[in-house]
Amino acid sequence: MPKPLPEKFRADVVTVARQGDQSIAQVAGSFGVSESCLGRWLKIADREDSVSGPTSPSTIPRTARPS
């Protein structure tokens, strides 16, 4: 099993992913983590922050996305 990454690193990756400027795949790739790992981090962060709703642009309806 790989060594867990530092909490600060995970928080930074989640912050970038939540900005919505890049897809989850792009964010994961640029930080060298898998999409499933990033998805898990986002779910955990949502629970910890009591955030409800979508965490990625791909889950936001097209009509709600900026052009």
Compute how many other C-beta atoms are within 10 angstroms of the C-beta atom of residue 40. Answer: 13
Q: List the chain pLDDT tens, one digit each, 67 residues.
A: 778 899 999 999 999 999 999 999 999 999 999 999 999 999 999 998 875 555 555 555 555 445 5
Query: In whole angstroms, what is the distance from residue 15 CA to residue 58 CA?
Result: 16
Tokens matching residue 5: 């990454």
Q: Which two tokens stand for residue 57?
A: 């642009």
**Threshold 0.75, pTM exceeds:** no
Spans of all domains in the chain: 7-52
Answer whether 42's CB lies under 8 Å from 56's CB.
yes
